[in-house]
Structure 1
Amino acid sequence: MGVVNRRTARAAVVAAVGISALGLSAVTAFAKISYDFKVSPHVVKAGARVHVKGDASNDDDRFQKFCVQQRQGTGSWRTVKCAHGAVFDGGAVDTWVRAEHRGTLQFRGALYETGWNANKLHLQMVTPTETVRVR
């Protein structure tokens, strides 16, 4: 390999590392969302209660509110309970839900935020769905 080819290869590697470093620094500048969401037990009899507990927050400086949502089977999601919410913190919810009908009951956590120029909350993220089988 000639001297010119080695210099060209070295310059290409240095440029690639520099571009990668710029890309990583841009990624870390975004806001970070953290959450914790648990449902127990995962199998219950009809009429039993299910414990749902969760919290979420975003390090963005917007008003946030964390809510627990449920649905029966493949129906639409409905809100069970919401935290009060705050700036930098969506709050925590700890509640019990009665499993009234047989089938599948699903739960998820939802973090809502306000826009910069609006007071209306919009959905920012949802947690993975937790499923409870009701016998």
Structure 2
Amino acid sequence: MLEDRNFMDDCIDKNFVFLKSIPNSIQYWMARKKDLFAMLRQLGKPTVFFTISANEIKWPKLLKILHDLSDSFKDIRVEDPLVNLNRSQRSHLVNEDPVTCCVYFNKLVDTIMAMLQAKMTYNPFGPYRVLDYFLRIEVPAPR
């Protein structure tokens, strides 16, 4: 039984099926890849690709939030974080609270997607809107 290759493959598939629900696991991305290829078969090739990169140390609203939440640099009054804080201080605030940065970025992406899916009010493309999309957010590993 253990020597049967089909039996072993079946056991592995059944025992690793729970990993499909864990983001960034190999099984999760394999399932997402299958979903994406199904979308391509049904909808055809995509017409737009949209890539966003986070540059947290240059986002004044995020830096203000991070400064308010942090115990660091309380002696510095921050009205405009890009002016009042140097690059090293801004980097320290971002590195100190990665969860807030991720939540902020996720809310930003959600807002952009809501605008792109809106009928005409907020949509920058006028009557054209996003109907179907595939969204992938990657977070780099810490160095």
Shorter-chain TM range is under 0.3
Q: TM-score, normalised by structure 1?
A: 0.28
Higher relative contact order (CA 8 A, sep 6+): 1
